[in-house]
Amino acid sequence: MAVRVLRFRSVNRDIFEAIKNGRKKIETRAASPRYLPIKAGDVIIFVCGKSKFQKTVKSVEVFKTVSAILKKYKPVQINPNTKTEKDARAMWNSFPGYADKIRRYGLVAFKV
């Protein structure tokens, strides 16, 4: 078991809070070498500003494309604020450099 830290920008505090209160059970990141080592059973410390909490990873899946992850999960499962595929794509594209990272690495989904 490893302990990992995932940081959130203050503009994404709503996502941080949704994970904390259990409304968001799937956290996604670009499947870059930074996030691929995270495995089921690892503990993730979620950090946003001075706030933090931890959750244990239940499962990890890697997807090559946004379309592939959306075949398995509804947008609202990934983020309670996204209702459609268009919303989900806009969310990922809102993160700096994410469109390129997703094209390069795909997405990793952590169930917490």
> Per-residue pLDDT averaged across 15-30, rounded?
94
Q: Per-residue pLDDT tens for 43-74?
A: 999 999 999 999 999 999 999 999 999 999 99
Q: Which domain holds residue 72?
A: 3-111
Q: pTM value? A: 0.89
pLDDT of residue 95: 85
Cα–Cα distance measured from residue 8 to residue 54, given in angstroms and rounded to the nearest whole number: 13
* Mean pLDDT, rounded, for 75-99: 90
Beta bridge partners of 7: 47
Exposure string of 48-64, with b = 16+ CB inside 10 Å and e = fewer, is beeeeeebebeebbebe
Instruction: Using a pLDDT cut of 70, give the percent of the chain over it.
Output: 100
Q: Residue 1 above 90 pLDDT?
A: no
Name the 3-class secondary structure at 32: coil
30 close to 107: Cβ distance less than 8 angstroms: yes
Chain mean pLDDT for the chain:
94
Number of domains forming the structure of the chain:
1
CATH number of the domain encompassing residue 59: 2.30.130.30
